[in-house]
Structures are given as C-alpha cells and as structure tokens.
C-alpha cells in the first residue's frame, strides 16, 4: 500500500513542480527587471529538475507496484500498458517530451549561438506546453484519485496557473505604439 501511496503522491508532486516550471517558463521570457527574471529563471530550472526527479520516483514506484499492472514495457512504450493504456501512454509521451525539453534547456548555451538558432531553440523548448498538457490528461485519466475533490482542485489550479501565465505572456507579444514608434 505504501508503494501505491508514494506513486500517487509523486505523480501529483511532479505535476505541481512541472506546472510551476511551465508557468514560470512563460513568465520569465517577458520584458522586465533583469534581477526578477534571473530569480524566476533559476526557480524555473530548479522546479523542472525537481519535477523530473519526482517523475522518476513516480514511474519507479508505479513499476514496483505489482497491482498497478503497468509493466516496464507499458511505461516505456506508449499505449502498451495493461492498465488504462491510452492514459498511461499519454503520460509516457509527456515524460519523453519533458526529458527532451530538459536536455534542450541544458544545451541552450551551445545550441543557441545565433538569432536563428535561438528562434529554433525557443520553438523546440515550447514543446514543454504540449508535455504539460499531456501530463494533465494523463493524471486525470489514469489517476486513481481524479474523482477526489482536492485532487481535482490541484488539477484546476495547475491548469489556471499555466493558462494565466501563458495569457500574460501572450499579451506582451503585441507591439506597443507610442508616438508612432514601435517599442
């Protein structure tokens, strides 16, 4: 039973940490004071790293739980799990996306050497939104506690945080005109 509790707790914890990282990732790219951006970027990276570590704990404890019926191939190969294959498969894809985005994040200094490369890096790094969305669907569809009120509140808070951060970020993409000059 403790393995199952750990798997559930680790899944929700990973979702919360990766939500904070995703939301901060949207906000950190906005214009603003450099000191605030530096701290937000640091917290973004720390939450991403911790989120991935807790995600490994989640996967490991699910695999250790014989009752879950996911199996190693079900965890590694999308849509082959014996338990809610579609939902677990979406989680597998989300995990791969997050790991890929993290690797890209670590390689940014080497990859983004020109303006064109920075644009390509940002586009690939934006896949984190897709990974996060898949993780939400995975948790809601595969999670055994998705019907519990406080768990649904966590899902809704995570959704609100990322949508709010993304909306805030997108509002800054429109150019501001002042006396006929774009700022």
From the CB of residue 54, how many other CB atoms can be counted at a distance below 10 Å?
20
Q: What's the whole-number mean pLDDT along residues 97-120?
A: 84
Dump pLDDT digits (tens) for 39-86: 888 999 999 999 999 999 999 999 998 888 898 998 999 999 989 999
Task: Identify the bridge partners of residue 85 per DSSP, sorted by sequence position.
Answer: none
pLDDT confidence of residue 180: 46
Q: What's the chain's length in residues?
A: 183
Phi–psi pair at 65, nearest 5 degrees? -85, 105
What sign does the dihedral 168-45-113-122 (CA atoms) show? negative
CB of 67 within 8 A of CB of 44?
no
Dump pLDDT digits (tens) for 130-169: 999 999 999 999 988 989 999 999 999 999 999 999 999 8
**Domain assignments of the chain as residue spans, ordered by start:** 2-172
Global confidence as pTM: 0.87
pLDDT of 177 over the 80 cut: no
pLDDT of 174 over the 90 cut: no
- Alpha-carbon distance of 164 to 179, in angstroms, equals 30
């Amino acid at each position: 039973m403790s393995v199952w509790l750990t798997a559930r707790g680790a899944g929700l914890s990973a979702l919360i940490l990766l939500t904070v990282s995703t939301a901060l990732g949207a906000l950190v790219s906005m214009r603003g004071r450099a000191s605030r951006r530096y701290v937000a970027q640091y917290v973004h990276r720390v939450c991403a790293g911790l989120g991935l570590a807790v995600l490994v704990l989640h996967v490991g404890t699910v695999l250790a739980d014989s009752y879950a019926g996911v199996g190693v191939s079900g965890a590694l190969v999308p849509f082959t799990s014996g338990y809610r294959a579609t939902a677990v498969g979406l989680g597998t894809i989300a995990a791969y996306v997050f790991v890929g985005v993290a690797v890209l994040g670590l390689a940014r200094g080497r990859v983004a050497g020109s303006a064109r490369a920075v644009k390509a890096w940002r586009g690939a790094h934006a896949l984190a939104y897709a990974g996060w969305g898949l993780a939400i669907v995975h948790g809601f569809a595969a999670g055994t506690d998705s019907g519990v009120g406080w768990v649904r509140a966590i899902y809704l808070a995570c959704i609100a945080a990322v949508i709010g951060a993304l909306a805030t970020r997108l509002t800054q993409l429109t150019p501001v005109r002042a006396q006929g000059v774009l700022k």
